[in-house]
Structure formats: structure tokens, C-alpha cells
Amino acid sequence: MTLLPGEDLKAAFVAAVLELERRRDAINALNVFPVPDGDTGTNMLLTLRAAVENVPETPAVSDSGISVSDLFAGLAQGAFWGARGNSGVIFSQFLAGMAEALTSSSACSGGGLPGDSLERAFRLGADAAYRSVGNPVEGTMLTVLQSLAPAAAKRLEQGETDPMTLWEAAFDASSEALAKTPSQLPVLRDAGVVDAGGMGVVVILGAVLENLTGRVHLDPLPADNGSGLEFPGVITRGAENRAGQNHLDDSLATDWGYCIQFVIQTQAGEMVQALDPAKIREHLASAHSGSAVVAGGGSAVRIHVHAADPAPVLSYGASLGALHQITVDSMDHQNQRFVAEQGGEISETADVAVIAVVSGDGLSGLFLETGCTRVVSGGQTMNPSVQELLDSARASGAKRTILLPNNPNVVSAAEQASGGDPHIHVVASRSIPQGIAAILAFLPGLPLEENLASMEQAISSVRSIEVTQAVRSATIGGLPVKTGQYVALLDNDMSAVDGTPEGALRRALAASGLTRDGLVTVYVGVDGGWRLAEELANGLREEIEGIQVDLIYGGQPHYHYLASVE
């Protein structure tokens, strides 16, 4: 029996990352279905790169290298945690299905990959990909993935067992399936493209095959446009054949809402119920969106969903476990960029994107509703890296980006990201209230320099209060603090200590210099009390005639209350 060594497959997937990186712009150019909610080529590249980086090193005691089962287990786990976008989540589940098939094969656990195991892996991989989608649609990457196993099975029936021959048959089938996607989806035909996710699958399969066989299987990309691979009969879109204005007008008339992605993770234990992807998918699809992709199970699931309002989606996720890797993108802004790139009639307001670092479902929704293109999950105890900020800025698709760090510990990373890219600018907000003031001052129609100046001025006009609980005893700013007491920071300096969070907030507000014509906005966190905050607000209104006090649900962790004083 011919076996495909795990070490050879490992090297082939490394080569596929490089090939996908080379061709990602061409794949991005095809991304018009179901909505322009990110760059498919970039998302699949980041997903595959995370998968390959998670593959374990070859054991020192091994003579044959890494086993096929260990290889795909590593790929699947890495892809799950690194998945980006709809296409990335679906592809991660394809790898998870393959890993399930190969882990249960005794031949793969101790040696290479036999042909019959490859056919089963393709089949289980496609099944897992379909299960992850709430409403599967043909003519997408799902159709391309489903074409692999039947092609391999046909070769097996003919007596062919060489896994590389079966892989080649699957690649040929994927190319044919991709060519048919415009006839299956009118939106692809109208836009003049093949499916972007399907193209990504073909590139990955073809790159693996080229590395294994040493023969060229991927047609060269056209040098003068981003149209994709030149398969016979495939509709592609290049510079001379852009999407029609009617298609673009229809796109602009659609209210796309938000693209929301995050991971739910529960703590292991007898009292914790396992996460059920099917129930989560059903809830999201019925309550929030027709585009719900849910991957994983047990103690962790990854969510990709489209919704008009991100807050209920994130609140639902938080009710099931801890949320990680939260990203929320405005698809309306993304759609504007897409139309502009296609030469459609649209203003230049999409040239500048504002990205905020935010923690809390309510606050995330607030920043997006008031002008942010994208939010990055982070803040106290969870500072995003320079690379995460760079990736978010580049993923926005805008020519220039303004970063709002919203935390003193994030300012340095934001400035370092700006130093590495002249198109990234930082408005050094050191608190959520400062960030909100800055985004409210942002006007898309103004030149960048004027926006930066007005946002900086807005930051200087607001006082910020943060209330949290002390985790250790200390003396800060001359004030002794005991473990468990509540402290209030006024403009990042210690201001008050109290036995209750409301008491600490009230003391800090008094120290901020409240006036009759002032405006106080209190953001209630997950540990804050809405009723107690209302009592505090009513008390301020009675004490200070004419003062305006607003309460907003922020949902932020760690801080019971945030407040701004203007």
C-alpha cells in the first residue's frame, strides 16, 4: 500500500501558506458573496497560517517524522483558534473533520496517509463544514469542499490507491466545482466572479499538490488584474470587467449591519454544561441572522454571525461562557469601500477608518454605532499586541486609520503600530470616556488633520472616572486601600476609596467639579448595579439643578462603573 508521509504533508501545507499569501489579493478581489464582510483571501491566509504554526515539532525519537493524525490534529486546533471570517471558520471545520477521520485510523496514527483514509477525511471534512453553517448555500466554498470525496472515491473504485493520485483527482474536481459557482449563485454571475472562498480552497489544494508532486497544477494569475485563476469557462473580474453599477447600487441600498466574531469558552468542571453548537447556531440564526457559522463544541466554540445590532449577540454569548477574540465590523462601511474600489459612485468618506480598543458588549456596540469601523477586544488585563492592531488597521481596508487605544496600557502599542505604518494615526485616548468623546468628534467629511485635531480637543474636554475593586492592600496617592474595597480613579489618578462601588463613584464625581450645566454619563459594567446607579443619578439631579445624568449599559468587565464628566 502506498502511504503519503506526514512530514511531506507538513512541508506541503507550509508551502500552501506561502502560495495563499502570494494570491490573496486576487482572492480578495472576488469577495462579493454573501456580503463584503472582510477579505476572504486574507482571512483564509491567516487561518491557514495559524493552523500550520500550531503543528507540533517532529519528535526527536521518531525515525519517520510526524504522524498524519498528529499533523491534522495540530492543523485543526490551530485553525480553530486562529480562524478569521466566515471562510476561515468553515475551513477550520473542514480540517477538524479531516482530523477526526485520520485520528481514528490506525494507519495514520503510526505511519503515513493511505488513499482510503484520505477519501474518508475529505468526506468527514465536508460534512463538518456543512454542519457549521446555519443555512448552507450551494455555489460557495461548501460546494467546492463537497466535490473532493466523490472524486477520490471514484478513483478508489477504479483500483487506484495512491493518495497523491487521489489528491490530484480531488483538486481537479474542486476546479470544476469552482467553475460552476457562478451558475449556482446569481449574485456571483451578476458580479462577474467565482466564489472567493472556493477559490481559496482550490489554491490550498493545488499548492499542496504542487509541493508533493513537483508539477504545476495552478494556472498562473494574470499579471495585470486581480481576477483569480484562469480556469476554462470561469467568469472572473479584472480591471476591464468590474461589477456593474446596478449591482453596486443594490449593494449600497442594502443595510448590511455588523459582522461579529468571537470565541465562547467554558471552564472545565462537572457543573458546567458542554456548549452545543447546533443549539447556538439555531438560536443565532432565528434570533439575529441568517448567516450564522458555529464551529467547535465541548468547552469552546467559535462564532461568526451577521446582525443588525451586535449587543444582543455578544450578550447571548456571554451568558454561555467567557468571550475571547471579539471583533465587530461594520459591513456598511466595508461595503462602501468595496463599491469605491469597483469604481462605483460613492464619496471618499470610506478613506479613513476609526478603530477602537474596547471591552464590553454594550461599549462595543456604542463605538460602532457612533462611527467606528471596527473594534478590537481589549483593555484592562487584556492588552492587544502591536500585531493585532496592525492587522486590524489593515483589515479595515481604509487608506488611513485612526486608532483609539482607550487605555493607558494600550497607548504605547498603538503608537508603535503607528510608527510601523505611516497610514496609521493615534488619538491617545486613555479611557473609554475619552474614546467616546473622540469618536463623537469624528466627522467623516473633514480632512484627516482636522479630524485628528478635533478628536484630541474632545479628549481634553472630558474627565474620566473608573470604579473597580482592589485586589490587594496598598497605599496609592496617599490613600490607604484594603483588599476588597472599591476605588475610583479620576483621570487615571486615585480619587476615592469606599466600601461600595456606588460610594466610590459618588465621591469621585464630587471631586470632579460638577456644575449646573454639566453632563454626566455613567456606563454600567457587568458587575455594576443598574438600580443602584439609577438611585445615584436621581440623587445628583436633586442636588444639582440643571445637571444632566445619563445611564448607559456598557457591559465592561473589571470596572463596575465608568463615567464621563463634561
Q: Does 503 lie in the same domain as 528?
A: yes
Mean pLDDT over the full length of the chain: 80
Q: Structurally, how many domains does the chain consist of? A: 3
Residue 317's closest CA among 342, 335, 292?
292
Confidence (pTM): 0.57
Last residue of a domain, one of 241, 269, 286: 241
Q: Does 167 lie in the same domain as 261?
A: no
Q: pLDDT value at position 341?
A: 45
Q: Does 280 lie in the same domain as 234?
A: no
Q: Does 256 lie in the same domain as 234?
A: no
Q: Does 347 lie in the same domain as 235?
A: no
Q: Is residue 153 part of a domain?
A: yes
Which residues, other chains included, contact 538 with Cβ-Cβ below 8 Å and sequence gap of 6+? none
In this predicted model, which residue has the larger pLDDT, 189 or 506? Answer: 506
Q: Report d(CA 162, CA 156) in Å as an integer.
A: 9
Q: Does 258 lie in the same domain as 278?
A: yes
Q: Does 90 lie in the same domain as 234?
A: yes
Q: Does 511 lie in the same domain as 400?
A: no
Length of the chain (residues) = 566
- Which CATH number covers residue 508? 3.30.1180
Q: Does 341 lie in the same domain as 219?
A: no
Q: Is residue 444 part of a domain?
A: no
* Bridge-based pairing state of the strands 292-297 and 322-330: unpaired
Q: Is residue 453 part of a domain?
A: no
Q: pLDDT tens digits for 475-532?
A: 777 788 888 889 999 988 888 999 999 999 999 999 988 888 888 999 998 888 888 9
* Bridge-based pairing state of the strands 548-553 and 519-524: parallel
Q: Does 372 lie in the same domain as 470?
A: no
Last residue of a domain, one of 183, 212, 241: 241
Q: pLDDT value at position 508?
A: 92
Q: pLDDT tens digits for 280-333?
A: 888 887 665 556 788 787 888 888 888 878 888 888 888 888 888 777 776 665
Would you say residue 187 has pLDDT above 80? Answer: no
**Boundaries of domain holding 137:** 6-241
- The grid cell for 281 is 447556531
Q: Which residues pair with 552 in a beta bridge?
A: 523
Q: pLDDT tens digits for 100-145?
A: 988 876 655 556 677 788 899 999 999 999 988 877 888 889 999 9
Which residues, other chains included, contact 448 with Cβ-Cβ below 8 Å and sequence gap of 6+? 352, 400, 402, 425
